[in-house]
Amino acid sequence: MQAYKLSGALRVSFLALFVLIASISYAQTSTSDYKAENEGWLVNVDEAYALSQKTGKPIMANFTGSDWCGWCKRLTKSVFIHDEFKTWAEKNVVLLELDFPRRKQIPKEIKQQNSNLQKAFSVRGYPTIYVFDLAKKDDGEFAISALGKTGYTKTVKEFTDGIDEMIARRDSGE
pTM equals: 0.82
Q: What is the CATH number of domain 45-172?
A: 3.40.30.10
What percentage of the chain has pLDDT greater than the value 90? 79
Residue 5, pLDDT > 60, answer no
What was the pLDDT predicted at 11?
Answer: 44
Residue 24, pLDDT > 50, answer no
The predicted-structure confidence for 115-157, as pLDDT tens digits, reads as follows 999 999 999 999 999 999 999 999 989 999 999 999 999 999 9
Q: What is the mean pLDDT of residues 4-18?
A: 44
Gap between the Cα atoms of 4 and 91, Å rounded: 67
Residue 96, pLDDT > 90, answer yes
E strand or H helix at 76: none
Gap between the Cα atoms of 85 and 11, Å rounded: 55
What was the pLDDT predicted at 173?
Answer: 83
Cα dihedral angle (115, 88, 132, 61), rounded to 10 degrees? Answer: 0
What was the pLDDT predicted at 31?
Answer: 72
What was the pLDDT predicted at 77?
Answer: 97
Q: What is the mean pLDDT of the chain?
A: 87
- Better pLDDT: 56 or 5: 56
Residue 167, pLDDT > 90, answer yes
CB atoms within 10 A of CB 171: 10
- Better pLDDT: 108 or 22: 108
Q: What is the mean pLDDT of residues 25-37?
A: 70
